[in-house]
Structure 1
């Protein structure tokens, strides 16, 4: 039977209430990795679904201005995880001298997350290496050998055209000495050790995302010619014409408008794979010879003070586009595989950061996330998709794009954090009609399948119970206030489903008790996403 108001419901309300002032459930204990799954202290599989929360601005002291109310909003939207960006420049403004005021601001946001039942993982963020060019490393750790810096039409072009950015990365990967004589990587590892020691007993913090989108430095000069050469071969195969000259290829990819035309040529899975696979060997060599040893250095430093938290490894910058990663799990001090590691993949179509971002190639995007899934299986790690989306338009096409991306994420059962939060994001149709949606947060048993059909409004959740489970499965529903008992179909019939409504929001969670014997279970309901007061909490 479905229980809505009863003594049992009242008891559970105090245990599971959306009111952040009430005691937390088992999420206040360490989240762990078991194979390719995240698992809570009660043995339930956990799907992490959240958003990036970051400031890259020195004027904001590298911390978003939004306060605790925003964290209440995150929970009302159904998020259970925040990728909290932290910046090396803010943390270590001088060699070996750490910014306690900044650390206390991080502490404050972790506390807000805890009060709202949100997990946090810390993302040491960088773009274009450092604060001189964008964000990341402090000036004292940015050694450019006086090389010039160049900008392109798209901000990320500087990775490929700026000698200063490339040289700064080269010096980092070579562990060049900082002004105090200590290597740059050694400073970085020491900083992570400080952070890990600070949060070693904090179960709200689930892990450490060691570096955002590591870039290979000057070796990247070999990548673009390889990709363009592969593109020229595809051009010949498709058109039957002679390959474009080097000058024509450079012009084709040199501006945003002509680049979009060129991308149409490689909008299918087969053509696109020929282009990205052309650079696998260069990409893999960097990851094996530079990135993997660096991650091991940081892992060694963290494991001196913290054996509990999950180490999250992002592949190199070019793997965002579907190149296969060559990363492996890091080792523990005794040489055995570290079991508490996760694959912090990112995935973007090549139109990201352009005016054409809503016109993503569906086949390209599906190929990119299929590659992520394959790598997660090869490494036997859970995938925590740290970045995806980067959507901004209010058009209907952007809603379609977002819904397609969400469908891929659900099909692969990825945990994920959308890139990124901004102040009025809840006013965007793609956010209301795709990002915020029903999903299972905790599965008491083994997750088989879940899906929200945006067209029909039907949510389907299939899982298998062993008969040993004690805790309920938890499903977030963004407009739970629109759902009635009669709307929920279960097979076999559920003994107990509890409606848990969030304060000041139409959303909430369904708590589905286990049946105490081995079986496959299915839960379905139909509900359409809405906007307005049922979508957002009271902002007064």
Structure 2
């Protein structure tokens, strides 16, 4: 992290963002690069979207001096360029890394999506609380400090997504070795946070190694077991709540007009449906090849709850 404060690194970022007033062409080249990438992958079914920059850093401009007046218009220019060649794929935008990664508020401004049919912009903040990122543990006093950052992140990032009128995605999380104190607890807590917020996530897996899902011998680490847990991959309506405890996943959703098809739940092994809507009709299908349980709920019932376990 301290690498960012080296004079050469600061100057490089200042030149990129044109904080110096000497290099407006750098952002122009960056925007042209994204247009080129979007043109190449616009029709590729394996591509969902584009994350415009990993953990933006403003050089000598930070927080309100960077995110609003500098980062937001750069993002807007890139989105405009992408939409000239790709009108369908999603665009993921990250707030600056310093601060929001630890739960601080973001001053990122609204990015308008010129595509027809509604915007496809996603707010994709990362989560690296300082006690874990720098201290490498989740116990004692450090755990108390990190839990405070959990609370800040849960308050400030969803608030930013509502302000910007975008869905939210936990764009990156991880960073602990499996032998670090509290590694399992930290992983379980951020997974529960994602469930509580109803958002997806991407794990930073530095493989092979103790912070990845495989170690130096190719064997599964602690995180392989923790991360391979069930989740709802598609909801036939509006998600209300998702929770995971004692190897059982419970999902609640409401019907939504015009939505057809089943709710799909990924499970690592063939699951057992232990409860569904009382009095309603429903059916399920297990696809062993995709590890997906499909649940067709009673359309005559307004809301649905299903619990599945191994």
TM range (shorter): 0.7 to 0.9
The match for 2:217 is none
Q: Deviation digits for residues 238-277 of structure 1, max 9, x if unmatched?
A: xxxxxxxxxxxxxxxxxxxxxxxxxxxxxxxxxxxxxxxx
The match for 1:297 is 77
Contact kept, 8 Å, 2:67 with 2:109, in 1: the verdict is: no
The match for 2:159 is 374
The match for 2:266 is 476
- In structure 1, distance between residues paired with 2:47 and 2:22: 31
The match for 2:12 is 168
- By how many angstroms is 1:356 displaced? 2.4
Indicate the SS of the match to 2:3.
helix
Q: Please say if 1:442 is aligned against 2:200.
A: no
Task: Give runs of aligned pairs for residues 92-171 of structure 1, distance below 5 A.
Answer: 156-160=1-5, 162-171=6-15
- By how many angstroms is 1:468 displaced? 4.4
- In structure 1, distance between residues paired with 2:201 and 2:27: 28
- By how many angstroms is 1:203 displaced? 3.3
Task: Give runs of aligned pairs for residues 179-190 of structure 1, distance below 5 A.
Answer: 183-190=25-32
- By how many angstroms is 1:332 displaced? 4.7
Task: Count residues with an aligned counterpart.
Answer: 294
The match for 1:218 is 60
Change (3 A) 1:395 1:468: same
- By how many angstroms is 1:421 displaced? 4.9
C-alpha RMSD of the superposition: 2.5
The match for 1:341 is 121
- In structure 2, distance between residues paired with 1:497 and 1:396: 41
Q: Please say if 1:331 is aligned against 2:124.
A: no
- By how many angstroms is 1:170 displaced? 0.5
- In structure 2, distance between residues paired with 1:327 and 1:338: 20
Change (3 A) 1:513 1:396: farther
The match for 2:277 is 491
Indicate the SS of the match to 1:325.
coil
- In structure 2, distance between residues paired with 1:198 and 1:511: 34
Change (3 A) 1:479 1:395: farther
Indicate the SS of the match to 2:131.
coil
Higher helix share: 1
- In structure 2, distance between residues paired with 1:519 and 1:198: 43
- In structure 2, distance between residues paired with 1:372 and 1:167: 29
- By how many angstroms is 1:315 displaced? 0.4
Q: Please say if 1:428 is aligned against 2:221.
A: yes
The match for 1:46 is none
Contact kept, 8 Å, 2:137 with 2:181, in 1: the verdict is: no
The match for 2:295 is 512
- In structure 1, distance between residues paired with 2:134 and 2:88: 40
The match for 1:524 is 307
Q: Please say if 1:408 is aligned against 2:193.
A: yes
Contact kept, 8 Å, 1:358 with 1:393, in 2: the verdict is: no
Indicate the SS of the match to 1:386.
strand
Contact kept, 8 Å, 2:38 with 2:86, in 1: the verdict is: yes
- In structure 1, distance between residues paired with 2:205 and 2:157: 20
- In structure 2, distance between residues paired with 1:391 and 1:491: 40
Indicate the SS of the match to 2:127.
coil
- In structure 2, distance between residues paired with 1:302 and 1:344: 18
- In structure 2, distance between residues paired with 1:291 and 1:402: 31
- By how many angstroms is 1:498 displaced? 0.8
- By how many angstroms is 1:499 displaced? 1.4
Could you state the TM-score of these two structures normalised by the residue count of structure 2?
A: 0.86
Contact kept, 8 Å, 1:440 with 1:473, in 2: the verdict is: yes
Q: Determine which of 231, 251, 263 is the counterpart of 1:461.
A: 251
What stretches of structure 2 of length at least 5 have no aligned partner?
Answer: 215-219
Higher relative contact order, chain-length normalized (CA < 8 Å, sep 6+): 1
- Structure index of larger Rg: 1
Contact kept, 8 Å, 2:137 with 2:180, in 1: the verdict is: no
- In structure 2, distance between residues paired with 1:201 and 1:309: 9
Q: Deviation digits for residues 196-217 of structure 1, max 9, x if unmatched?
A: 1111122321111111111111
Higher strand share: 2
- By how many angstroms is 1:329 displaced? 2.9
- In structure 2, distance between residues paired with 1:479 and 1:321: 35
- In structure 2, distance between residues paired with 1:468 and 1:294: 37
Contact kept, 8 Å, 2:106 with 2:160, in 1: the verdict is: yes
Change (3 A) 1:468 1:515: farther
- In structure 1, distance between residues paired with 2:169 and 2:200: 5
